[in-house]
Amino acid sequence: WVATQELQFTLGYKPLDMYKTFNVDCVANLKDYSEEIRKVRELCDLECLKDKQLLRNILSLWKEIKALRESQGFIATNAKIFIYKEETDFAKEDKEWQQRIKSTYNERKEEAMSAYEILQKEYYNELAAWKLKSRDTKKAKKEGAEEVEVLPPKPVAPVKPPLSSLLNEIQSNATTCRKIPGDPIVKIELSHTSPITPIEECPLTEQKRRKDIQKSTCYGKFFYNNSEVTRTPNMTLTSDFTLNFNESIYLQVVHWPESIKFELWNSKERMSEIFVAVPPNDRHTDNAELETLEFSSSEKVTCSNSTAVGSGVTDTSDGKILLTTGRLTCTTAWVKDANGKILAPARSDISANFGRGDPIHSIGAKSLSDMNKVIQWISDAKLDPNDPRNAPLLHLMSKAHRDGPSEGKYFRLDHLEKQTYFSTSEELENDRRFKLLNLRAQGVPECKPMKMVPLYSSEVTHFEYVSSDKEEKISLKEEGNVFERHRAAMQQYLADIQAKIASRSRQVKVVHELSDVVVEEQVPDISTLGRSIAKLLEPRHPLRPQRKERKKVTNQAVGISAVDLLINVSQAQCLPIRRNITQDTRLGNDPNMTRSTVLLRPFVEVTFQRSSRVTHVADGPNPHWNQELVCPLTVVNNDYSASNLRQISDIVYFNVFDEIIIDILADDRLRDTNIHQRLERRWLGSFQIPFSTIYLNSRIEGKFKLNVPSTLIGYNKDHGQQPQLLHDPNPLMALSPNAADKNSYLSIFITVEPPLAPQTPLREIFDSNEEVRLIRASALWENQFNEKFQTRRARNLVTDVNGKSVFITRYITAQNPPAYLIPEERKECQTLPAMQKVAKFVSLIPYYHDSIAFSGSCDIWATSDLFLKMLAGDEEEHAILLCNYFIYMGIDAYVVIGVGIPEGETCYVLTKQIDGCILWNPSTGDFHPQARSYHSLVTVSYLFNHENIWANIQPYDDPGRLDFNIRSTKLWRPFFTKAASQLSTIQTSRLEYIETNTAAIATLESNLEKMLMDKIMEWRERHVTRWNRHCRVVLRELLPRLEAGTLSEEDQLNAMSDLLNSHHVTGFPINMRYTDASTIIETVYSSNVHVAEDPGVEFALTVYIHPYPNNVLSVWIYVGTLVKKY
């Protein structure tokens, strides 16, 4: 620091004047020197800290050894440590100490002030821009502009860095890392002079151990080019576990050796394998020096007849696994002849012989006909240069590049091949029939089911449809916005991963079962007959019918247009009820507000593939329908194969409407004799289920939560309760089991008729980098659990994007969420509002099921950074990311595996709070306290975090009845006997986030709004569609507050008071994650907002997109209708 200050004085440079124009290069070099000095000081502090810790650990270990020797009463090793203390000059060290602290303080102070000045200058620039924009906004408001841009918040001035605590921080760090002035310098010396206790003075157990060591013998095997050459005699272990072979092995060789290996064996099995380097040409017996090669082995060695610990087993004292480790001292050299010539063989010409090092022999060939093709194959294969097996091939390629191409001496059999061609390659590529055959071979859905292909290209008409469809999709991706291009790139990346997984699955061993080869009915035996007789004696419950499992039909037996969706709509609970809002009455101002005599007339509409089915109209907020609906399933070219059905991306939409009867009789004199009414529908709520989920689970039954907006104009979902904010001021009250559940639910049963057998996932043994013993223990643990609990399924190993099996605990680690989503204080991070913000961010990442991404081949688990990059994943990716966020926030979190509604096998996140456990649905952002009666998670099979995996061995699996005390082995069975922190994580320690382009957001908002308005006018082609611009502006101001959760129902009605006084207004907001434009269009279409028959109806629609990092978008759509009051 002193040197840099002198240089600053010489240059005339002041620390606070960072923008002088002279001596720019010198100033830049000065900054670099200061930065290098700071980094060197930090590294020095770190090394000093490591030295102190190492010294402390050595002394602590030596104390433990001495204590163990005293407790045992004997000494078994000759190790001894001498400790020396060297006194120091306190005055000199204290002076250096103070000078170091002062220089560090000046450096840190200068850095902080420089950063503060930069922030202050940026603040002044932003403030000037804000003031200019504020004047423009005020001017626009005075001029009465229709749309005024929203003024951003005023910039906040930077806070001056606190320098008072900086000195204490530096002193504390110096005390921790450096030696304190006056403390002596401690030096240690290891010696092997400690006397070993004679065997006759040792206890019987130690005597037995030493006798066992004397009986232990080992020998070595010497291998040359993987062939055993000789063995050493059996040697006895000494007391310090050494073997003295003192063997010299002489070999006469002709060719250059490929490998030299030494294996260490005991009396039963091999203990270790050590590779010795081949000596260079110039090393001979006169100049060769001994080399020390370290080795280790995981082979298990036990000593059951004595107190010896053994090797490869777990030490009961500290839980560590002791492995066989050691050092081999040896040397290799060439011998000289009588004339002093080194007798080393010359390196053989690799391209001339067909021996063991021949490149052609290494790839399994016996001869070759064209060397140039071999060279080209080697170049295209991208061989690993570090693999010694590829050395001959790489040497051959380098030799070919050096010497140039060579023509082989051979003759061609196809020299007249070109004369026999019927057409050129260009003509084949442009032939329509040939293209159609290629598309069918590639499995394109439009062409795969085709059995007959026209004989002539002129007769191919279906290809025009296929090619135009593909070109249209490509043009949309190229001309779309940046988010569409990102989604298109993600699709291509998923396709590459799918190809990689498929390629790897072809190389691994496929596990076949009898049912894969033989399809037959089960032969009745005594057990099946006994169960049939027992069923006859069971009590009958005619009023409680139970559904029976139906026999699944193979996909080949399905006829044309023979598949339907059977949907049984049972009942609904807690639907919003109507309210009357007159011209002078608003919600919250009049507690005695009037209500309509008819609370509700609800019905359910199911939409699938633009085909709709409706139930009859019921009465009240808790209606019962118990009605069956049938929706036909339409597939391309009637291809009902399992691979094609799994890739159907259509969604089944369930919408609940309120039927309103409008009296349109104009003449009151005819009211006694005439009836003229119009039926209108008001949207109340909805939810959706992908068809792939229904197909994979065969059937889905349960109670589903309706997505009802927080504010629904004209309806009250609190059933007379006071309106509240979207985020309760006291959110912890929501965790109480006695808290009122204000959600609406719909009970349904849905299945496929006939029941199709889903495609069986690949039962393959993928490659893995995990230890073999852990893989075997995992298979045994899974089989024992799955056999005991037939309805539960445990899985410890999953497949990553590289097609390798890894333990699921490696996916869990603390990962940072976006900085602005969590508070700065640690305690506030563990509050429910902070957790909800993080859960909402995770739920906004697009959902993409593996059955669609990888055609049902297997379930792929991606890491969090890849998940955020692709913006596509299913339940496990969402759950892992949310769990890692919670762990980073200091929350005790776990990933729960079970069965949910409607997902089937799914992943949730469990957090343990002071008030109880909470289950989080990472795909939707919803949470359910464990004590609540309703859970979208039906069963729990097992859970895991970064430490261990716990299987549920309780007699029940309902999450509301489970005890999540994982420390109790009677309730939860752990896989690891100790913490799995020894397994390193495959996740990145810190996630990097990219800011979303605000200009692209504005463009996307405008495009979506225009697209939806065009679609509504297209859906209403028989009617005139009018747009209310004033209502659009009002609704546009409400959406940002809805996203922030600061808008109450009362505030919304107050903002729309002018419209409510002059119009009958109905409308609702829709919030969803952004995947693509077609999904948003289908969601708006399923709400039937365009079905309005009133001739004077006006529409209002606005779109707001709230950006999150990494192009994660929260889309808000507010749509409504207005009819003037007469």
The tokens of 573 are what? 């609970």
In this model, does residue 872 exceed pLDDT 50?
yes
User: How many percent of the chain have pLDDT more than 90?
Assistant: 14
Of 1070, 1052, 1067, residue with least CA distance to 1116: 1070
Summarised one tens digit per residue, pLDDT across range 775-793 is: 888 889 988 888 888 888 8
What confidence tier does 720 reach under pLDDT thresholds 50, 70, 90? very low
Whether the per-residue pLDDT at 879 is higher than 90: the answer is yes
Check residues 865 and 324 and name the one with the higher pLDDT: 865
The answer, yes or no, to whether residue 496 has pLDDT greater than 90, is no
Amino acid at 361: H
**Better pLDDT: 1052 or 718:** 1052
Largest CA distance in the chain: 137
Closest by CA to 718, choosing from 741, 735, 736, is: 741
Report pLDDT digits (tens) over 301-353. 766 555 666 677 776 666 677 778 889 999 999 998 888 888 888 765 433 34
- 331, 334, 340, 345 alpha-carbon torsion, rounded to 10°: -170
Question: Average of pLDDT values for 455-470?
Answer: 58
Q: What is the pLDDT of residue 544?
A: 60
List the single range of 207-221, 419-433, 622-636, 1068-1082 with lowest mean pLDDT.
Answer: 419-433
- What's residue 546's pLDDT? 64
More confident residue, 970 or 416: 970
pLDDT tier, 110 (very low <50, low <70, confident <90, very high otherwise): confident
Q: How far apart are CA 640 and CA 449, in angstroms?
A: 9
Cβ 725 vs Cβ 614: under 8 Å: no
Most confident listed range (46-55, 372-381, 734-743):
46-55
Which pair of tokens denotes residue 591?
């507690």
In whole numbers, what is the pLDDT of the chain averaged over residues?
Answer: 78
Q: What is the mean predicted confidence (pLDDT) over 662-678?
A: 79
Residue 478 pLDDT grade (very low, low, confident, very high; cuts 50, 70, 90): very low
Contact between residue 604 and residue 685 where contact means Cβ atoms under 8 Å apart = no
- pLDDT confidence of residue 210: 82
For residue 519, the model assigns a pLDDT of 61
- Cα separation values, 193 from 80, 190, 213, 380, 488, Å: 7, 9, 21, 62, 72
Q: Is the pLDDT of residue 415 over 80?
A: no
Amino acid at 46: L
Quick one: average pLDDT of 904-912? 90
Per-residue buried b or exposed e for 533-554, using 16+ beta carbons within 10 Å of the residue's own CB: eeeeeeeeeeeeeeeeeeeebe
Q: With left for phi above 0 and alpha for psi between -120 and 50, is residue 588 left, alpha or beta?
A: left
Number of Cβ within a 10 Å radius of residue 980: 21
DSSP 8-state code for residue 159: P
The closest of 397, 724, 744, 368 to 573, measured between CA atoms, is 744
- Determine the pLDDT at residue 732: 44
Task: Report the b/e string of 459-484 with b at 16+ CB within 10 A.
Answer: ebebbeebeeeeeeeeeeeeebbebb
In angstroms, the CA 94 to CA 99 distance is: 8
Cβ-based burial of 458 (10 A; exposed 0-12, middle 13-18, buried ≥19): exposed
Euclidean distance between the first and the last CA atom of the chain, given in angstroms as a whole number: 83
Strand partners, 942: 897, 951
Residue 902: asked if its preceding bond is cis (omega within 30°), the reply is yes
For the CA atoms of 864, 870, 874, 875, the dihedral, rounded to the nearest 10 degrees, stands at 20
pLDDT, one tens digit per residue, over 31-45 is 777 778 878 888 888
Q: What is the per-residue pLDDT for 907?
A: 92
Across 915-934, average pLDDT: 85
- Integer CA distances (angstroms), 842 to 190, 488, 734, 1035, in order: 56, 21, 21, 27
949 and 941 Cβ atoms separated by less than 8 Å: no
Residue 743 has pLDDT above 80, yes or no: yes
Question: What type of residue is 657?
Answer: F
**Which residues have C-beta within 8 Å of that of residue 599, sequence separation ≥ 6?**
577, 578, 619, 620, 621
Amino acid at 95: K
pLDDT at 480: 45
Torsion of CA 32, 36, 38, 41, to 10 degrees: -170
Q: Assess whether pLDDT exceeds 70 at residue 1005.
A: yes
708: Cα within 13 Å, side-chain hemisphere: 24
**Total Cβ atoms within 10 A of residue 671:** 11
Task: Give the CA-trace dihedral at 208, 211, 213, 216, to 10 degrees.
Answer: -120
Contact (CB, 8 A) for 217 and 94: no
8 Å CB contact between 687 and 705:
yes
- Range in 379-388, 730-739, 1047-1056 with the lowest mean pLDDT: 730-739
Report helix, strand or coil for 3: helix
**Which uninterrupted H or E stretch holds 599?**
none
Q: What is the pLDDT of residue 654?
A: 92
Q: DSSP letter at 412?
A: -
Highest mean pLDDT among 127-136, 157-166, 281-290, 878-887: 878-887
- Tokens matching residue 851: 């059955």
Task: Compute the distance between CA of residue 628 and CA of residue 570 in angstroms, rounded to an integer.
Answer: 9
DSSP assignments along 1044-1094, one per residue: HT---HHHHHHHTHHHHHHEEEEEEEEEEE-S-HHHHHHHHHHTTTT----
Backbone angles phi, psi at 1028, to 5 degrees: -95, 105
Q: Average pLDDT in the 280-286 region?
A: 86
In this predicted structure, the answer to whether residue 723 has a pLDDT above a threshold of 70 is: no
- pLDDT at residue 614 in the model: 92
Residue keyed to tokens 């889905």: 700
CB atoms within 10 A of CB 808: 22
Separation of alpha carbons 707 and 1089, rounded Å: 16
Is residue 881 scored above 90 in pLDDT?
Answer: yes
CA pair distance 643, 851, nearest whole angstrom: 9
- Answer for the pair 1114, 1071: CB distance below 8 angstroms, yes or no: yes
Cβ count within 10 A of residue 839: 24
pLDDT beyond 70 at 22: no
How many residues in the chain? 1126
Give the alpha-carbon dihedral of 728, 734, 738, 739, to 10 degrees.
Answer: 30
pLDDT at 15 over 80: no
| Mean pLDDT, residues 754-773 taken together | 69
DSSP 475: H
pLDDT per residue over 160-215, tens digit each? 887 777 888 888 888 888 888 888 888 888 888 888 888 888 888 888 888 888 88
Per the structure block, which two tokens stand in for 697?
Answer: 């689970």
Give yes or no for residue 830 having a pLDDT over 90. Answer: no
Give the residue, 1112 or 318, on which the prediction is more confident.
Answer: 1112
HEC profile for 39-50? HHHHHHHHHHHH
For residue 416, give Cα distances in angstroms to 421, 877, 1049: 9, 58, 85
Q: Looking at residue 371, what is its pLDDT?
A: 65
pLDDT digits (tens, 9 = 90+) for 607-662: 998 888 999 999 988 999 999 999 988 887 677 777 677 677 788 999 999 998 88
- Smallest CA-to-CA distance from 319 within 1023, 982, 1108 is with 982
Segment 87-107 mean pLDDT: 85
Instruction: Give the C-alpha separation, 397 to 521, whole Å.
Output: 59
Tell which wins on pLDDT, 715 or 398: 715
More confident residue, 21 or 89: 89
Q: What is the pLDDT of residue 645?
A: 75
Q: What is the predicted pLDDT for the residue at 554?
A: 54
Nearest to 1027 by CA among 1090, 1100, 1093: 1100
Higher-pLDDT residue of 1099 and 765 is 1099
Q: Are 614 and 655 in contact (CB under 8 A)?
A: no
Gap between the Cα atoms of 1065 and 1045, Å rounded: 23
How far are the Cα atoms of 163, 665, 670 from residue 673, in angstroms, in the given order? 90, 11, 6
* Per-residue pLDDT at 428: 80
563-590 pLDDT tens trace: 888 999 999 988 988 876 443 333 333 3
Return d(Cα 504, Cα 498) in angstroms, integer.
Answer: 10
Nearest to 710 by CA among 1088, 1112, 1071: 1071
Q: Is the dihedral of CA 228, 232, 234, 236 positive or negative?
A: negative
Type of residue at 202: C
Q: Is the pLDDT of residue 385 over 50?
A: yes
- Higher-confidence residue: 423 or 952? 952
Residue 516's pLDDT is: 57
pLDDT(354) > 90: no
Q: Which amino acid is located at 313 in the chain? A: V
Q: Which pLDDT score, from 0 to 100, does residue 446 have?
A: 59
Give yes or no for residue 357 having a pLDDT over 80. no
Q: What is the pLDDT of residue 582?
A: 41
**DSSP string of 354-401, one letter each residue:** -STT-HHHHTT-S--S-HHHHHHHHHHHT--TT-GGGHHHHHHHHHHH
- Helix, strand, or coil here: 305? coil
